[in-house]
A = this chain, B = another copy of it.
Amino acid sequence: MFHNIDTCLEKYIPQEELSHVQRILYGKKLQKLELPATCISNKDNVEVKGFKFDSLTEELREKRIVRVGVIQHQIVLPTTAPLVEQRNAIYDKVGKIISLAAEANVNVLCLQEAWPMPFVFCTREKFPWCEFAESVEDGPTTMFLKDFCKQYNMVIVSPILERDEHEVIWNTAVVIDNFGKVIGKHRKNHIPRVGDFNESTYYMEGNTGHPVFETAFGRIAINICYGRHHPLNWLMFGLNGAEIVFNPSATIDGLSETLWGIEARTAAVANSYFSCAINRVGTEIFPTEFTSGDGKPAHQDFGHFYGSSYITAPDGSRTPGLSRTSDGLLISEIDLNLCRQVKDHWGFQMTRRLDLYADSLAKIVNTD
């Protein structure tokens, strides 16, 4: 199994040429963050990496330094285990990683899509998997995370399978603030119908628009998974004022890996905000076989979730990715002021001609 493109480049390419390759592929060189010993001990096989993005020192505004964290993790128990045991085992593992994030002074943390469960939608089976759907306000996952938020003074974005009061199921990110209060939710705007991503069998397109959440550590938004293929989705979060947009995802190597490094990164540049691309990791195997609509025989595994989570600044510079194969925590120290600095430099917000496009889109929609 190929572990990581970044370490591969570092291993083989001589320093002088490597600096060109890295500059072209990843932009401005980032400093590594100094992390506490517990973070870098690699106990429990959790890879922890930390980087610092540069910004200008302004005269009229204080820097607004924030530490952002993202976690990618494999499920723990086989998908044949009792559901509550599966979920508790994930809680245990991720709880430990959240504590590592706290030791590294992370302020805002985002977990992967549908984090407390396997990514079951390949099966098209409603039972038992729909049982994982839970309430935003007082479901087990929200209750589990609230204490961490309070204890660690940390905002946590928790992407879950939501069941609302009408028994409608949604793919939802819950935002819990640093006092343990649910301050809002966002429901996935764009639902795939590709490969084994049979999510439209379970839930519909989100009805929450493009909310941006004002937190103690910046204005944040969530573009869930397949929404990263839609530039308009990224755009609206930016227009609504986001400074950090998380993209909690679950995607596999045969399908999307060559797009992974470019879509969230292009969005950060186009919209002058930080983007955080988070992918699930590992290979999940299900109890009964299923077909993939690709002419191949039935099988029980959902391909390899390739991890590779990364963070991009509005100037296009990005961190290396986490591993393709193991659990990880990626931390970045950022200055939220960089968003405006990049806008003032590149001027994309000024040259965007939104009125032209509002007109053009209205015409297209009306013609249809």
| A contacts, CB < 8 Å to B | 2, 5, 8-9, 12-14, 17, 20-21, 23-28, 189-194, 205, 209-210, 226, 229-232, 234-236, 239, 257-263, 265-266, 269-270, 316-317, 345-348, 350-358, 360-362, 364-365, 368
Q: How many copies does the complex hold?
A: 2
A23, A355, A361 pick with most chain B CB within 10 angstroms: A361
A347 CB contact (under 8 Å) in B194, B355, B358: B194
Bound complex: CA A209 to CA B357 (Å)? 10
Q: A265-B262, A357-B361 are in contact. Are A351 and B226 (CB under 8 A)?
A: yes
Q: Provide a sorted-by-A list of 7 A–B residue pairs whose CB atoms are within 8 angstroms.
A: A8-B20, A23-B257, A24-B257, A24-B260, A194-B347, A230-B348, A259-B316
Bound complex: CA A236 to CA B355 (Å)? 13
Residues of chain B lying within 8 A (CB to CB) of residue A263: 266, 269-270
Residues of chain B lying within 8 A (CB to CB) of residue A356: 189, 209
Residues of chain B lying within 8 A (CB to CB) of residue A8: 13, 17, 20-21
A232, B194: Cβ atoms closer than 8 Å: no
A24, B5: Cβ atoms closer than 8 Å: yes
Q: A193-B350, A226-B351, A258-B27 are in contact. Are A360 and B209 (CB under 8 A)?
A: yes
A21, A226, A316, A358 pick with most chain B CB within 10 angstroms: A358
A24, B194: Cβ atoms closer than 8 Å: no
Residues of chain B lying within 8 A (CB to CB) of residue A270: 229-231, 263
- Measured CB to CB, the closest approach of chain B to A345, in angstroms, equals 6
Residues of chain B lying within 8 A (CB to CB) of residue A192: 347, 351
B24, A351: Cβ atoms closer than 8 Å: no
Bound complex: CA A235 to CA B355 (Å)? 15
A2, B17: Cβ atoms closer than 8 Å: yes
Residues of chain B lying within 8 A (CB to CB) of residue A234: 231
Closest B residue to A232 using CB positions: B357
Residues of chain B lying within 8 A (CB to CB) of residue A231: 231-232, 234-235, 266, 270
Bound complex: CA A8 to CA B25 (Å)? 13
Bound complex: CA A5 to CA B13 (Å)? 11
Residues of chain B lying within 8 A (CB to CB) of residue A262: 261-262, 265-266, 269, 316
Bound complex: CA A265 to CA B265 (Å)? 12
Closest B residue to A14 using CB positions: B12
- Measured CB to CB, the closest approach of chain B to A11, in angstroms, equals 8
A354, B358: Cβ atoms closer than 8 Å: no
Bound complex: CA A232 to CA B358 (Å)? 10
A25 CB contact (under 8 Å) in B5, B12, B27: B5
- Measured CB to CB, the closest approach of chain B to A196, in angstroms, equals 13
Closest B residue to A317 using CB positions: B258
Bound complex: CA A351 to CA B199 (Å)? 13
- Measured CB to CB, the closest approach of chain B to A43, in angstroms, equals 28
